[in-house]
Structure formats: structure tokens, C-alpha cells
Amino acid sequence: MSDVRFPDDDMPAGAVVDGEAVTRAVDDAFDFVVVGSGAAGASAAYVLAEAGFSVGIVEEGPWLKTRDITEDVHTAFSKYTRESGMQVLRGRSFVPMIQGRCVGGSTLINSAIAWRIPEDVVDDWGARFGLGDSINMRELDPHFDALERDLSVRPVADDALGENNAMFLAMANKRGISASRMRRYDRGCKGSGMCLSACPTAAKQGMSVTYVPWALARHGARIFTSARVERVEIRGHRAVAVVAKSASGHPIVLRARRGVFVAASTVQTPNLLRRSGVRSPALGKHFQAHPGLAVGGMFKRSIEMSFGATQGAESIHYRKSERFKLETISFPPDIAAARIPGAGPELVERLARLGHVASWAAQIRARAEGTVGEGWSGADRVKYTLGEDDIRATRKAVALLARMMFDAGAQEVWPGIFGVPSVLRSVDQVKLVDEGPLDPRAYAFIATHLFGAARMGVDPRTSVVDADFRVHGVDDLWVVDSSVFPTNLGVNPQHSIMAMSRLAAARVAERAKGLRAA
Amino acid sequence: MLLPRLFSFELAWAEAAYVAIYPDPPRNPLSRGIRAMKPARFYDELIAGVPTEQALGLRVSLWIVALAPLFVLRRLCTIAALSEAERVTVLERLLASSVYAVRQLTLGFKAMGALRYAQDHALRAEMTTPRLAPAPEDSGPVLKEPEGAVHLRVLDRAKLMASSSGQTRAANEVGPDHAAAEGASDV
């Protein structure tokens, strides 16, 4: 074990400034300052640094090193997710929302799924938001290609598939539903089933083991960790600096000679822009998500979710027609225990048979829109309530998954819908799901894919950034995370977020190089 | 965090409720329940470590659980005064409550206990390891195990890292500058 070196082990001296250890005020200057080191921030930082510009990255959370990763979800969530993993969307119901708050952001705790943005979504953005000339597949494809080379995108390999995923594929196939192995960032996945509490072997290619260390080690970028950005300083309609505070309480001022990229995430970016003085009627509006709901099933035979890709199989068969995507998701015991019905002997009896449990999920391309604002304590606040048509889509998806599980021989299925028996024991009972309540409070949703709230468009009255990612009315300030997406996608967004961010950074770098040459 | 730490009576409530949710053998087929893991202390530390709003929610959920005998059983006592079987009944009723806030907060309480219960490595292994040999009549549809599949019944981190060392070294070496040729055949 001692000879194993991970990409996040060795950084050049001075490349990482740990905000926990800062003992005095910091004042530094870069060509570009990037706020956030998740999928969007890391991609932009890498492109800018590779183009020869000096880059400073500011990250609110700490750097979780691969060798410190444990299987314990509590430790991971309490240290490396926002609000200890207890953040929620508020509306008629409370929907848990997990966001990474560490170097690499949510790429540390997601399942590394790589989906190119669907063409129908891009066409819709062109038709409804006037973005066709700027955001199209011709522009995006080279960036997807580059990402797939850099991060080793490939379908789940046989030796990391596992039964939970294999059974999903077989059952979808049996019902004539098109399904496939997921394409993921994968450089040697061992199927440890630990994607949700971070990859113990760095195989997942999260940003903390790829673009961030590459930007630092190869291209001289610098990262300030555990430093919360308070505002972007805008002088005379131009972004000139980022003002942050270290976890140790000291001010960090990073001056930006050429501009600032904001990639703080859909929830944090709108509030950061507000604190920075950006006034836009569209700011904080049009928040969208992909609420997800998992269905569990108990089998007599072994499933062993603890082995195999956490998420390794999926179907977009109903993405357009019914607005849901089906996928597998293996839960570790820490999370599964909360989702398994019952308390006391009934609960622990099921927990003891977790090796026989399969878990599949539906991801809804919800039409509902919410708002992002600040709460009484200055905390980020998202208001969001799913509509009836979104619940109808959820019901259909859950019923289909339940039927697939019974097809596979499940002894019992747990639909996770209040008002429907928590344990279904035969396929005949699935009709109760078909007729389930239309109240969002009845469904055990979780939200992981977030979009909008600083959306892109040509009209400053209805959008926050223009088609080149620039905040309307402010020079040298770009937003590159999924807050600019005019709509949700219906597929997992990390890949699209990175491609969009790369596109933005490449355009800015190109222009800046031109100016430098001139 | 603005809220005070849990008082001793609150710790007793949390302990009683968690021991009912994750009981000791023989009411538990796993080798042990949550009692030995000091779940009340864990809950207290959890509350101390999260933002105020979440801490308030966790505290309220404890009080709902603690005082539930009053409105579930119409008995003038707290959860700590009930037998273990009665506690389970009360908790199940809360989890199935028609009042959204009550069932969600109780679910949150149960979930926090799960975080503690599953922290134990040996217990995780017990949970995730299949218990029964597959029965031929229940083998379900033909699902061939992928050739070469490796079953990691207990995650052995040392072995996992050792086996990945080759690839990890490669990952260190392979970056954007070198990846083009390798990636081309993968994608």
C-alpha cells in the first residue's frame, strides 16, 4: 500500500493554500480567478491554465485526499458535503439535496456518469432561448471528445458490473425496454460500490484527482481551499477581484487581471451574484431539478449491492415520452437503512439481508420550477414544489420498476410512497402504485441534479448571462456552472456541465490570447 | 451552533428510541444492536456539528419521538418509560403518521441512527454479505454473472488499493497529454 501514489498526493510547493492554516490576510493576483472547483470550475480552470494564463481557484471546502477516504458515509457527508448532507429543497415537501463542498465538488460523491447533452435539449435551447448560434452540438462536440479522452469514459466493464446492474439490464430487456450499461469516467474501477462516499482508488476521475491537480502540477495554477467567497468585486461594470474569507477567519483577496469565472453551483451562484451587486430580474428564478426516487426489492438469492458499479445500468427509453430515466443505484448500509421499511426487529431482519437487496431508481425530468434565495440566517434557500404531472411521471416510473423487480423474482418491493403499502408482496399490488397519491409529500424524493437560477439567454430581462456565458451588463464576469442551463436535461448532467464550462473557457481564452498578441 | 447540548433526559430518550429501532440480539439477527455504539452521544455530537436550522430539526424530531406515547398511546409518559416492544409500536406509528412533518422528522431520526449503526465495519460486512445459499427454485430469470466478476464481500481497503496500484500509477502518468491514444479505443 505504501508504494501507491494517488494523483492528489503530491502537489507542487505553494500550489495549495489551505484556508484552515492561513494565519494572515492574503492578497494575490492572477489572470483569471475561478470560484469553485467542481465539475464546472475545475474544467474551466484547466482550460485557462493550459492556455498559458495564471489561474487562481477558490474552493469553499477542504481537499479530501484519496488516501483518507473511508467507507463511512457519515464521515464523508459531514466533512465534504454542504450542510453535512442535510440541505433540502423546501416547498410542499422537503426534498434532500446533496451537494459536494470540497475540492472536486459533487464529482467526489456522484457516480461519474457521462452523458452528452441530448440534441433535443440543445435544439430546444436554440428555439426557445435564442442560443442556437452559440450553443450547439458542433460547438460542444469537440469538448465532449476532449473530456472523454482526458477522463477515460467507457461503459461499465464486466468485472465491475455486479448483480444489481446485471439484473436491471436483463429485466429491461425482458420487457422490451432499451437499456444499456452506463458510460462513466473510469480508470480502473474495482466495483467497490463506494461512489457515494468517494472513490477509494481514484478510479472515478473526480476533479480532485484530475483537472485540479493537473492544472496545479502541469500549468502552475493555485488553489485556495477552505475559503468561502463573499463577493466578486465589480468596479465600473467590470469584475476585478474575488473577496473570500479563510476558514481561519482571514480575508483572501484575489485580483483578476482578465476576469472571474463563477462556478459555485446552481444554488450558490445566484446568491453570490446577488452579494456582488448583480441585479437581474431573472436571478434566482427558473431553478429546475431531476428529483429521483429509489425502489428497493428483497430477493431470496444474493444480489450484493456492495459489489459493482454504484450506478452501472440505465434506460432512457421513456425520457422523451414520459419524462423519466431509469437507472440502478446501490446504497451502502448507512443510507439503505433509512430507506428500508420498518423499525425494530422487522428493520434489522431486512438489514441483515441487505446482501439480497436490489435498488433501482427513477430520475424525473420535472417541469416544476423553483427559486433560489437567501434565508434568515444567510443560508441558501431553494423553494421548489413538484407539480401533479411530475408526480404522475414518478408514479409510472416507480410502478414500472416495481414490476421489473417482481419479474426478477423479488419477494417484496419497497416503493417509497406514503399511501401505498410500504412493502408490496406481489405484482398484483403494483396497481396501488399506479393509483398512488398525487401529493409530492407522499414520495421519498432526493434531488441531485440542479439547473437554472442564473440562466442563459439573449434577453437581459429574462436571463442572467448571455450566450457567451457573460453576466449581462458586467464585463469579465462569466458563469459556467449548471445555473446557466435554461432547462434540465433528462440525463445526468456532469458531462454537459463540464463541456459547457470548457466551451466558455476556451472562448474566453481564445479572445484573451488575441488581445495579448495584439 | 446556538442550541445547548442534549440534556441527560434527552440523551435517555434518544438511547431508548435507538435501542428499539436497532435492537440487541436475540431481537436482531445481526451480531449486535446499536446500544454498544452509544447512539445518544452520537446524536448529541451530530446536533452540535450541523448548522443551527438542521440542529433544531434534529432536536424537534427527538422531542416528537420522546413525547409520542402521549398522542399515540394516550399514556402520560415518555418513550424511555415504555417496553422495547411498545417503543417499536410507537415508532412505527410515527413513521406511518398521516402528518407529513411527524413522519419525515421521525424518518430523519431513524436515518441518523443508521449512520451510526453502519459505521461499524464488521457489522457492515454482516449486513452486506448474503445470508442464504441461492435456492434453485428461486434463481429467477437466467442472470449470468459476468465472467471474471470478483465478489468483494468485505471491502478490504488494503487489498483494494494494492490491486489498484498499477492502475493508479498509470492514472498518475496518464493525463490529458497522454490520454488521446488510450482513450480512442475506449470511447
Share of chain B above pLDDT 70, in %: 69
Share of chain B above pLDDT 90, in %: 64
Q: DSSP letters along A101-152, please?
A: -STTGGGGTS--B--PPPHHHHHHHHHHHS-TTTSSHHHHHHHHHHHHHHTT
* Two domains, one topology: A16-68+99-151+205-280+454-517 and A158-186+288-368+387-444: no
How many residues are there in chain A? Answer: 518
pLDDT at B180 over 80: no
- With beta carbons under 8 A apart, name residues in chain A contacting B49: 78, 84
| Residue A167: predicted pLDDT | 98
Which of A3, A4, A349 would best serve as a mutation to test chain B binding (most B beta carbons within 10 A)? A4
Question: Are B127 and A418 an interchain contact pair (Cβ–Cβ within 8 Å)?
Answer: no
pLDDT at B157 over 80: no
- With beta carbons under 8 A apart, name residues in chain B contacting A357: none
- The answer to whether residue B134 is domain-embedded is no
Bridge-based pairing state of the strands A313-315 and A324-328: antiparallel
Q: Please report which confidence band the pLDDT of residue B176 belongs to, taking 50, 70 and 90 as the band edges.
A: very low
- With beta carbons under 8 A apart, name residues in chain B contacting A422: 96
| Residue A514: predicted pLDDT | 87
| Residue B185: predicted pLDDT | 29
> Which of B131, B143, B169 is nearest residue A355 as measured by Cβ atoms?
B131
At B96-107, the pLDDT tens digits run 999 999 999 999
> Which of A84, A343, A418 is nearest residue B49 as measured by Cβ atoms?
A84
- The answer to whether residue B172 is domain-embedded is no
Cell numbers at residue A94, please?
422537503
Pinpoint the alpha helices (H) of A28-99.
39-50, 73-80
Q: Which CATH superfamily is domain A16-68+99-151+205-280+454-517 in?
A: FAD/NAD(P)-binding domain (3.50.50.60)
At A437-462, the pLDDT tens digits run 999 999 999 998 999 999 999 999 99
Question: Are B132 and A356 an interchain contact pair (Cβ–Cβ within 8 Å)?
Answer: yes
Q: Please report which confidence band the pLDDT of residue B140 belongs to, taking 50, 70 and 90 as the band edges.
A: very low
Domain range annotation of chain A: 16-68+99-151+205-280+454-517, 158-186+288-368+387-444
pLDDT at B181 over 60: no
Chain A: residue whose CA lies nearest to B45 = A78
- With beta carbons under 8 A apart, name residues in chain A contacting B88: 343-345
Question: Are B51 and A158 an interchain contact pair (Cβ–Cβ within 8 Å)?
Answer: no
- The answer to whether residue B1 is domain-embedded is no
> Which of A86, A306, A336 is nearest residue B50 as measured by Cβ atoms?
A86
A158-186+288-368+387-444 architecture in CATH?
2-Layer Sandwich (3.30)
> Which of B142, B152, B157 is nearest residue A307 as measured by Cβ atoms?
B152
| Residue A191: predicted pLDDT | 87
- The answer to whether residue B137 is domain-embedded is no
Question: Are B162 and A154 an interchain contact pair (Cβ–Cβ within 8 Å)?
Answer: no
In whole angstroms, what is the distance from residue A131 CA to residue A112 CA?
28
Q: What's the CA angle centered on A44, arms A41 and A46, to 5 degrees? A: 105
Q: How many domains does chain B have?
A: 1
Domain carrying residue B66: 8-120
- The answer to whether residue B155 is domain-embedded is no
In whole angstroms, what is the distance from residue A450 CA to residue A97 CA?
9
Q: Please choose, from the candidates B50, B148, B109, the residue with its C-alpha nearest in 3D space to the C-alpha of residue A87.
A: B50
- The answer to whether residue B153 is domain-embedded is no
Complex-level ipTM: 0.92
pLDDT at B171 over 50: no
**Closest Cα of chain A to B8: distance in Å?**
24
- The answer to whether residue B41 is domain-embedded is yes
Chain B: residue whose CA lies nearest to A73 = B115
Three-class SS state of A515? helix
Q: Please report which confidence band the pLDDT of residue B153 belongs to, taking 50, 70 and 90 as the band edges.
A: very low
Task: Report residues of chain A scoring pLDDT below 70.
Answer: 1-2
pLDDT at B141 over 50: no
- With beta carbons under 8 A apart, name residues in chain B contacting A81: none
pLDDT at B146 over 70: no
- The answer to whether residue B168 is domain-embedded is no
Question: Are A83 and B54 an interchain contact pair (Cβ–Cβ within 8 Å)?
Answer: yes
Question: Are B22 and A347 an interchain contact pair (Cβ–Cβ within 8 Å)?
Answer: yes
Q: State the count of interchain CB pairs (< 8 A) between A and B.
A: 269
